[in-house]
Amino acid sequence: MAQFDKTFPTLDCSACILTPKMDAVLQHSNIKLMTYCEVSEVKGFVGNFDIKIRQKARYVNHDKCNACLACTEKCPGKGVAEWDEGLVKRKAIHIPFPQAVPQKPVIDRDACTYFLKGKCRLCEKVCEQKAIDFEQQDTFIDVKVGAVIVATGYNLMDTKPLVQYGYGKYPGVYSALEVERLFNSAGPTGGKVTLRDGKEPQAIAILHCIGSRDKNNYEHCSRVCCMYSLKFAHLFKEKTSADVYQFYIDIRAAGKGYEEFYNRIIEEDVKFIRGKGTRVAESSDEPGRLIVEAEDTITGKFVQLPVDMVVLSPAMIPREDSKNIARLFNLSTDKYGFFMERHPKLAPLSTMSEGVFIAGVCQSPKDIPDTVAQANGAAAEALTIVSKEKMELEATTAMVNPASCCGCQNCVRVCPYGAPSFNYDKGVSEINEALCKGCGLCASVCPTSAIIARHFTNEQVLAEIEGLMEF
């Protein structure tokens, strides 16, 4: 959100909403903010998680640094500015953007002259606080927590493999987040909408549903593209004199004030063509211009439209490491890698792992208000766990009858939640009821029927079957 310029449908300044919140989190006495970290190991269960966190090496000692940023001025290293979607370069020692929290720099190893060539250390010379530390290593921090909220966000689909749209091939083709940066007054162009050659575009086409609602790529609707494409149209009209064309399948403006915003954009002389853009090609008559091809499904005619700038609205997809996070926290994912909630209607914030909650687009594509609503809910759910002395557990759990346990440890091997453990002193398995989800898998692999799946015991199920076979 911090990368955006305005938010739909109210056109509020995005940074004005977010950056004070970010700072408030940093300053809050009850919140410990850990940036540039990764969870590397999760043990324990609800109320008693032991989490190992890897603090990646920044090569800057943040306790000593006083954020004067003299180092970033002198640094000769050039790296790709991820924050500006690679539209410009940034220094090797950098802070991602001026309002970043904490406002202290980090060294990008892949761009740093010292790490690449073995000499430079200019930042070390200019740093009065002696905060630069090229010897810094990754460190591990252990924390004990009662509940976890996973809010790992999303990626935009890489549209390069969709060669028909020419992203990466024609300089006039942009992805949506790049355009957000062009609008932003702190962005690479200072808020001016210009093409890569510095000219102002005369005609702009916005192509919806690139990769989403598409059987060949992602079947889901990314939910926000219609609205931000309408917002783009408004901002293009405000900042340029260009003609703006929308190539859409349907406009999905379901949300408070969204339909009204759509009607407002129609009034602003934006041209809507109902048909998915099928191809972007270079114009043969006017070099440098692009031709967008589509079938207008209202008139049934084939459209070939010359434009200067094409904006692709790519699918929102799970982050590349979502499967790793799912494995760490024992979450289930759908076929693309979005995390599964425990119940689509009744438990949309909980996961199958007790005490682990999800919020935001890591669950499914959603807009900012929905994400905030879900995050508030997840925070409340987490608080109900950590504020209590004792926890209520599900009654449907398994238990071991130690008298008949033979110690084969089949249950320990099959349980996906690690609930059974083997007690070597007693020579029997024991089940941690806080971890048990009650599936009953252990009960059916137990050769001596020592494990009792409560509410679904062998006797109960057999009695049910006997009763059912009588009539």
User: Per-residue x/- marks for other proteins, 383-422, CB under 8 A?
Assistant: -------------x-----------------x-xx-----
Q: Min. distance of Cβ 416 from other proteins in angstroms?
A: 4
Residue in 201, 325, 438, 450 binding other proteins, rule: CB under 8 A: 438
Q: Min. distance of Cβ 326 from other proteins in angstroms?
A: 9
Binding range to other proteins, per CB under 8 A, among 53-61, 310-318, 418-426, 441-449: 441-449
Q: Which two tokens stand for residue 3?
A: 């990368």
> Which CB, 388 or 455, lies closer to other proteins?
455
Binding range to other proteins, per CB under 8 A, among 55-63, 107-115, 245-253, 436-444: 436-444
Cα four-point dihedral sign 10, 14, 19, 25: positive
Residue in 428, 440, 450, 452 binding other proteins, rule: CB under 8 A: 440
Residue in 207, 253, 439, 450 binding other proteins, rule: CB under 8 A: 439
Asked if 346 touches other proteins (CB under 8 A), the answer is no
Name the CA dihedral angle for 359, 363, 367, 373, rounded to a multiple of 10 degrees: -30
Asked if 444 touches other proteins (CB under 8 A), the answer is yes
**CB contact set of 76 (below 8 Å; sequence gap of 6+):** 92, 113, 120, 122
What is the secondary structure of 203-216 as a DSSP string? Answer: EEEEEEEESSS-TT
CA 208 to chain centre: 20
Q: Map the footprint of other proteins across residues 25-54, applying CB under 8 A.
A: none
Residue in 70, 303, 408, 461 binding other proteins, rule: CB under 8 A: 461
Three-state secondary structure readout of 425-440: CCCEEEECCCCCCCCC
| Burial call 332-361: b when 16+ CB within 10 Å, e when fewer | ebeeebbbbbbeeeeebbbbbbbbbbbbbb
Asked if 152 touches other proteins (CB under 8 A), the answer is no
Distance CA 206, CA 272 (A): 10
Distance CA 159, CA 173 (A): 10
Asked if 462 touches other proteins (CB under 8 A), the answer is yes
Residue in 263, 297, 332, 401 binding other proteins, rule: CB under 8 A: 332
Rounded alpha-carbon distances, angstroms, from residue 197 to 178, 200, 374, 397: 15, 9, 42, 65
Residue in 135, 197, 425, 466 binding other proteins, rule: CB under 8 A: 466
For other proteins, the binding residues (CB under 8 A) are 330, 332, 352, 396, 414, 416-417, 437-441, 443-445, 453, 456, 458, 461-462, 464-466, 468-469
